Amino acid sequence: MGHYILALDQGTTSSRAILFDQAQNIIGMAQREYTQHYPHEGWVEHDPLEIYSSQYAVMMELIAKCDVNAADITAIGITNQRETTILWDKQTGKPIYNAIVWQCRRTAGIVDELVNLGLDEHIRKTTGLVPDAYFSGTKIKWILDNTPGARERAASGDILFGTVDSWLIWKLTNGKAHVTDYTNASRTMLYDIHKLDWDDTLLEALNIPRAMLPQVRPSSEIYGHVNIQGAQIPIAGAAGDQQAALFGQCCFEAGQAKNTYGTGCFLLTHTGEQALRSKNGLVTTIAASVNGKVQYALEGSVFVGGAVIQWLRDEMRFFSESSDAQYYAQKVEDTGGVYMVPAFAGLGAPHWDMYARGCIVGITRGTKREHIIRAAQESIAYQSLDLVRAMEKDTGKPIRELKVDGGASKDAFLMQFQADILNASILRPAVRETTALGAAYLAGLATGFWNDQEEIRSLWQCEIEYTSCMDIEQRDKLINGWNRAVGRSMNWATP
């Protein structure tokens, strides 16, 4: 038995590697940002080779930086940005097109075609999802339709599809393992989450051959091995980033919820072995689980969470460091009536409006930069509020406690405003890297590094709790203003 678990966290804007010991202490971390490509309005792409090279580089950098012998690493767990779609040549290992990122809206028209074919209800019932360009299926069709010769080669098995987990595992194992896990498969809009198989109706509708699809496996088992410094290290865990975070927050039972504040915001509530269908704009997804069980979660996705702060920094140049947003937001008592709806890539749950676009409303002659920054900060909390209220309607139970993680959970102003607007307790764990920790847990449980879920549950600790101190009249007034602002942004870019 080695001393460490290595987690590879391949995110939307950066690749990271984190080394954990058995007490879930972080021994070291390495991170590298990589290029975002925006070839047209609403399009987002990554270079798959840069995804892999950045991930491999931080893995090797971390091992060297920590002066760790590779033989002391028990296993590797992988967590990844979900829905992002990669197609590559099975023989050469070269991508046939850039990765189409989950944020990309180019396939909205293909989604409309599926709905016009009468497949709306089939998609919801079978995959647990709603018809949207967010998911992988329509992205696969787009690449096959727009890459010469791709369809014929895909039908013969010469072109492979994978989400980022599949791509990394295939590359790290030198092409020996073409697999994905249940959680990532459940985000493709091609996978029957009840029968646990690819759905022939949707494959036919999108003209996607089964030959190109990965084998779907549990989230906690050995998929293959990576040769590092002569040591054969098993890849023993994989989960999409949000399901990994749910697992890393030790939300193992029905009713337990977490919200991740990253590029987007993602609220998941565990529903046990019941695939609960949403009536309020959420999606049903497979949760990361162990011991051969298949468990489910309800999920709400905000497309632009922390990314709105990056936008203020990079495009608007309101400040030079993302952490400055908290400082400027507190320079004013409130937003002065300004609301920002950051629907840059449409609106996700519970609205699901592919044609919504961002807006700033309530501007007056007295509006300052600080008001807009504060409105951007608050928009993250408002969007999460919409998810929580939808979740409560679906489950019939109020969410009184919400575990939080992700980069923006470090923002004390945002977390306090979230507690205020939700009228709930916000719990931030001592170990904030819960996405990577979830992947580590899955790999560690598959290899005996940890014995069971009770052992890792005992390790979870709360660092800080935020409680509401806003009166009900103020809360209702603010929420009413937010709802009006959302209405202004919807259906803006309808063809």
Per residue in 81-117, pLDDT tens? 999 999 999 999 999 999 999 989 899 999 999 999 9
Going by pLDDT thresholds of 50, 70 and 90, the confidence category of residue 301 is confident
Please determine, for residue 338, whether its predicted confidence score (pLDDT) is greater than 80.
yes
Instruction: Please give the average per-residue pLDDT across 337-362, as a whole number.
Output: 92
Q: Provide the strand spans (E) within 102-187.
A: 159-162, 179-181
The pLDDT of residue 238 is: 97
User: Residue 323 has what pLDDT?
Assistant: 86
Q: Is 234 helix (H, G, I), strand (E, B) or coil?
A: strand
Tokens of residue 352, six digits: 């699901």
pLDDT surpasses 90 at 343:
yes
Q: Once rounded to an integer, what is the mean pLDDT over residues 403-407? A: 90
Q: Give one word for 274, left, alpha or beta, with left for phi > 0 and alpha for psi -120 to 50.
A: beta
pLDDT at 322 over 90: no
Alpha-carbon span 54 to 58, nearest angstrom: 6
Q: Which two tokens stand for residue 66?
A: 């920590």
Burial state string for 365-383 with b = 16 or more CB within 10 A and e = fewer than 16: eebeebbbbbbbbbbbbbb
Tens-place pLDDT, residues 185-237: 999 999 999 999 999 999 999 999 999 999 999 999 999 999 998 999 999 99
Q: Evaluate if residue 281 carries a pLDDT over 90.
A: no
